[in-house]
Structure 1
Amino acid sequence: MAESKENTIRIADRFTSSASFSLLYSEGMQLVEETAAYLDGPGRQESKALPRLASVLYAAESMRLTTRLMQLASWLLLQRAVNTGEMTREQVIAEKSKVRLDSFACDPSAPGWTELPLEFRVLVERSLRVQSRVALLDSEIYHRDEQKAALVNPDRENAVKAQQTLLSTAFGTG
């Protein structure tokens, strides 16, 4: 068993040193720059003309958007630091614990959402798509061993539940 583990190639680990990662990195950083330019320029002007409810929503969503993008940029920069040898994987894991990729969602069905400027809504949606991709990669790179250990060493107090978990994982029904 140990021999097969050593021979296993984990694609997600290699992704961060690939051309595909470079594209994701560029996309994420470009989105940060576009968003900053929008919020400091046209967005500031457009927000002044919004009705009260949409104005409050704009303020809240722009804070979430900014926070989401800063978290994404932090994650991308950490991965780049590993690739360039500036940091070890262990250092990145320690720093990465400060990065939140699972929060700051928005609700497009919220009252006032459709009154927000189109360009702003597009930026929010793009940031959510990038966040989703990065969170998936993060899970594959850093949490796969934890997930695997939980499946291999199930809770002995409830063997039936452990078997159900294994089956649902194997068949993708969980």
Structure 2
Amino acid sequence: MVEQEYHADNTIRLADRMVRSETFNHIYDEGMGLVEEAAAYLDGEGRAEAKRLSRVAATLYAAESMRLTTRLMQVASWLLLQRASRSGEMTQEQVLSEKAKVRLDTDSAPETVEGWDEIPFDYCDLVHRSLRLQARVRQMDDEIYNEGASSSQRRMLTTNPVSDQISLLATAFAHR
């Protein structure tokens, strides 16, 4: 039987359990894979596609590329911290100190801005997947480290609480 961590309010924190379990590997692999995929795209196909964009779309593409790279590096940093904590390479205090430097709030430009309709589909897909991954990681971070936050505060931190929760549950139980 698997032990579950209960808290004063008798709730089970699935995100904390997931980070401490083998199912964490799934989201870790997804995150690191997305970092590699984005880097390969931006250095290869994306570079060629960006040259064919109008001036407005090329400027948007450059700004979004910086946001995408920042978002993925921050998510990767968070994932690496959790992995180091899980493996005992870092103490909880060290993780908290380093985690304070990680930002999980890098947004993207609205798709209604001029030039967005010219952005290549493969690039848009990377942006959308990175935003979904960031939302899942942000929700896990909130569950693990901000247990004192009210449920309304937690809801405000996510772009789509239902989708985020479904993704979190799917990840938590994907490797059973």
Same-fold call, TM > 0.5? yes
**Deviation at residue 10 of structure 1 after TM alignment:** 3.0
Aligned match for 2:115, one of 112, 137, 140: 112
- The corresponding residue for 1:32 is 35
2:53 equivalent to 1:61: no
Taking structure 2 as the reference length, what is the TM-score of the superposition? Answer: 0.77
Q: In 2, Cα distance between the equivalents of 1:115 and 1:6? A: 50
**Deviation at residue 109 of structure 1 after TM alignment:** 1.3
- The corresponding residue for 2:127 is 124
Does the 8 Å contact 2:77/2:102 carry over to 1?
Answer: yes
**Deviation at residue 6 of structure 1 after TM alignment:** 9.6
Per mean C-alpha deviation after superposition, the further-off stretch among 18-27 and 124-133 is 18-27
**Structure 1 stretches of 4+ moved >4 Å:** 6-9
**5+ long unaligned stretches in structure 1:** 152-164, 166-174
Does the 8 Å contact 1:67/1:104 carry over to 2?
Answer: no
2:84 equivalent to 1:88: no
3-state SS of paired residue (1:144): coil
- The corresponding residue for 2:146 is 143
Higher relative contact order (CA 8 A, sep 6+): 2
Taking structure 1 as the reference length, what is the TM-score of the superposition? Answer: 0.78
Q: In 2, Cα distance between the equivalents of 1:66 and 1:95? A: 19
**Deviation at residue 8 of structure 1 after TM alignment:** 6.0
Cα distance change, pair 115–90 in 1 and its aligned pair in 2 (3 A) = same
- Give the CA RMSD over aligned residues: 2.1
Report the number of matched residues: 147
**5+ long unaligned stretches in structure 2:** 1-6, 153-176
Cα distance change, pair 8–49 in 1 and its aligned pair in 2 (3 A) = closer
Q: In 1, Cα distance between the equivalents of 2:113 and 2:10? A: 49
- The corresponding residue for 1:158 is none
- The corresponding residue for 2:103 is 100
**Deviation at residue 105 of structure 1 after TM alignment:** 2.8
- The corresponding residue for 2:163 is none
Does the 8 Å contact 2:78/2:99 carry over to 1?
Answer: yes
Q: In 2, Cα distance between the equivalents of 1:43 and 1:25? A: 24
Larger Rg: 1
